[in-house]
Amino acid sequence: MRKNRVGLIGFPTEHSLSPVMHNAAFEALGMSDWLYDAMSIPPDILRYGVQEPKNHGYIGINVTVPHKEAMMELVRPDEIARAIGAVNTVDFRNNSGTNTDADGIVDDLRANGVPIANKRVLVLGAGGAARAVVYGLARERARVAIVNRTKIRAERLVADLKSAAGIDGIAVMTLDEAADWGMSLIINCTSVGLHPHVDQSPWIHGVPFPAGVTVYDTVYRPANTALMQQCIAHGGRAIGGLGMLARQGALSFEIWTGVAPPVDVMLGAAQAALENTGKV
Ligand code: ATR
């Protein structure tokens, strides 16, 4: 019987790479009394559903779409979760919630040698992923601008970060304005280009693509998105989002276990699982 259980709640969770990633880490470290599994909980019963792993002695859980925002009301969110407005990691031992997505992207940019301090960074999107990314970038003193299809949602993101975390100076732009802004990094936080719509790009047709920038696409299905291909065609560098996934998971792993996570093992396991699904 495994003593230490952790897991994921979401709806659905069937395609999640997190169980494979965390269980590979436990195996690599000889932590055979640990197990990570996934539970699908419909939104209308989240309040009761989340008690299940807690009552069964789980140490903690990851939280994914669509429960990250609702989880704010069900645990004690820390400063990071409050700034982002979403919880992705719960520790049942003290009923606290945090969000490792912001550190996940920052750690992965660092691992890839992409500088962000004092750099101009354009974020595409204003949903949950964008909130975490914008917060992480602003905290690292990047100069951030946001482009989103629904402008008011980007303006709300900027206002929320100001009131929740005192973060100032984030611009909201149109894509045309952004094309001339002179950023060194573009981070796609929209779902455009996600499998099966692999031919779509959030950089809309007709707007000149800036030459020589780095694109980081938080989409990792497929591994080489249309946006990444556009970037490379214009002499830039492109990085897929699997590293962010592995690193946010690694940070959760460390919170629950207190053990330094084997990030490369987690990334390798996620990559192998993706290749097996044939969607890379
Ligand atoms: P997540 O939590 O994964 O970020 P989300 O909150 O649903 O998901 O946000 C999805 C993001 O992708 C949003 O920025 C959304 O733009 P809107 O705010 O205008 O909805 C963006 N998005 C999704 N489909 C899009 C499309 N076809 N064209 C442009 N943007 C799109």
Q: In sequence order, what DSSP letters do the residues of 183-240 get, joined into one string?
A: -SEEEE-S-TT-TT-TT--SS-TTSPPPTT-EEEES--SSSS-HHHHHHHHTT-EEEE
What is the pLDDT, as a whole number, of residue 277? 82
The rounded Å distance from CA 271 to ligand 1 centre is 25
Mean pLDDT of the chain: 96
Query: Where does the pLDDT of residue 1 fall: very low under 50, low under 70, confident under 90, or very high at 90 and above?
Result: low
Q: Are 186 and 125 in contact (CB under 8 A)?
A: no
pLDDT tens per residue, range 25-48 = 999 999 999 999 999 999 999 999
What's the pLDDT score for residue 278?
62
Tens of pLDDT, residue by residue over 150-204, are: 999 999 999 999 999 999 999 999 999 999 999 999 999 999 999 999 999 999 9
What atom of ligand 1 comes closest to residue 131's alpha carbon?
Answer: 4
Is the per-residue pLDDT at 260 higher than 70?
A: yes
Active site residue 3: no
Q: Tell me the CA–centroid distance for residue 156 and ligand 1, in Å.
A: 14
For residue 124 and ligand 1, the question of a CB distance below 6 A is answered with no
Q: How far apart are CA 116 and CA 278, in angstroms?
A: 33
Looking at the chain, list the stretches that DSSP marks H as alpha helix, in order from N- to C-terminal side: 18-28, 46-49, 51-55, 79-84, 101-111, 128-139, 151-165, 175-179, 226-233, 242-257, 263-277
Catalytic residue among 54, 68, 151, 279: 68
Q: For the chain, what percent of residues have pLDDT higher than 90?
A: 96
Region 76-88: mean pLDDT is 97
Pocket of ligand 1 contains residue 127 by CB under 6 Å: yes
Which pLDDT score, from 0 to 100, does residue 34 have? 98
The pLDDT of residue 194: 96
The CB of 151 under 6 Å from ligand 1? The reply is no
Handedness of CA 21, 194, 203, 171 (dihedral sign): negative
Q: How confident is the model at residue 182, as a pLDDT?
A: 96
- Pocket flag, ligand 1, residue 8 (CB < 6 Å): no
Task: Verify whether ligand 1 is closer than 6 Å to residue 193 (CB atom).
Answer: no
> Residue 101 pLDDT more than 90?
yes
Residue from 63, 99, 191 to probe ligand 1 pocket by mutation (most atoms less than 8 Å from CB): 191
User: Is there an atom of ligand 1 within 6 Å of 241 CB?
Assistant: no
Residue 154 alpha carbon, nearest atom of ligand 1: 18
230 pLDDT above the threshold of 60 = yes
17 DSSP 8-state letter? S
CA distances 12 to 8, 40, 129, Å, are: 10, 5, 17
Percent of the chain with pLDDT over 70: 99
Would you call the peptide bond into 261 cis, given omega within 30 degrees of 0 as the criterion?
no
Q: What is the pLDDT of residue 235?
A: 97
The packing angle between helices 101-111 and 128-139, to 10°, is 60
